[in-house]
Amino acid sequence: MSIIKKTVIAFLVIFLGILFAVNANATGNIKVGGTFVNDTDSTFNASWDQKWESFNVSVDYTYKESDNIVKLDKFNTVGKYNYKFSEELYAFAITSYDTDKFRSSGDRTVFGSGVGYNWYSTENFKLSTESSIALLTNNFVDEAIFRQNITTSYKLFDKLEVSNKLLFESGTETYLKSETDVTYLIGTNLTVGLRNRYTEDPVSNNVLSFNVGYKY
């Protein structure tokens, strides 16, 4: 992957984040990073997450190359609308679209709805789960699937946070994604961190990367 393409993707993600950040009611973060061991082994990732009161959107791109051979080239975007019944219980509708250069079943599109529950929500620890039924569409199937999300975050110190997002989908093929972040806040908005992403889609991949980010 050329340095020009990586730079263009990074600036596009940053531009999108800044463009939507003008909404005073929104919060979010932008992260760009990777690992560059030598001329033949590297990873690159760029992500943007934003939350309004009732709507969330995220965009993510991941690339991995080993011995000058592309091992992973994946793009994913998710939109979710939440309706609160209480501070803990909520319903949601979700749609996602992702592409993977190496997935034989082609692009995945998911439309679904379900319920979520915030089990803990303190300044230092958060735990929530979501369960939903969705329609999965790809080159091979149109089928109903069950989706389960578990999200946790824990502040070890005032500026150091560890978080994990786990997604499991059961259908004709099992889909699993686990994303763990260690994030350190520098000043008010700037962050540096380490991200490990493991996916089974259905082939397993693991990508470890360093990143810099901006929270707003």
At 18, which CATH number? 2.40.160.40
The per-residue pLDDT for 36 is 60
User: What is the rounded distance in angstroms from the CA atom of residue 72 to the CA atom of residue 206?
Assistant: 10
19 vs 164, more confident: 164
Look at residue 2 in the predicted model and tell me its pLDDT: 46
Q: Which tokens sit at 178? A: 């686990």
Residue 25: CB atoms within 10 A of its CB come to: 7
Query: Is the distance from CB of 68 to CB of 40 less than 8 angstroms?
Result: yes
Q: How many structural domains are present in the chain?
A: 1
pTM of the model: 0.83
What does the mean pLDDT of the chain come to? Answer: 85
Look at residue 18 in the predicted model and tell me its pLDDT.
53
Q: What is the mean pLDDT of residues 80-100?
A: 94
Residue 22 has pLDDT above 60, yes or no: no
User: Would you place residue 12 in the very low, low, confident or very high pLDDT band (cuts 50, 70, 90)?
Assistant: low
Does residue 16 have a pLDDT over 60? no
Confidence at 7, pLDDT banded by 50, 70, 90: very low
Mean pLDDT of 96-123: 90
Q: What is the mean predicted confidence (pLDDT) over 157-172?
A: 92
- Would the pLDDT of 76 be above 80? yes
pLDDT of 19: 53
Provide the pLDDT for residue 179. 94
Supply the range of the domain harboring residue 110.
Answer: 3-215
Q: Is the pLDDT of residue 106 over 90?
A: no
Contacts 24+ apart (CB under 8 A), 164-170: 169/110, 169/134, 169/136, 169/145, 170/145, 170/146
The Cα 95–Cα 78 span in angstroms is 6
Confidence at residue 180, expressed as pLDDT on a 0 to 100 scale: 96
69 in helix, strand or coil? strand
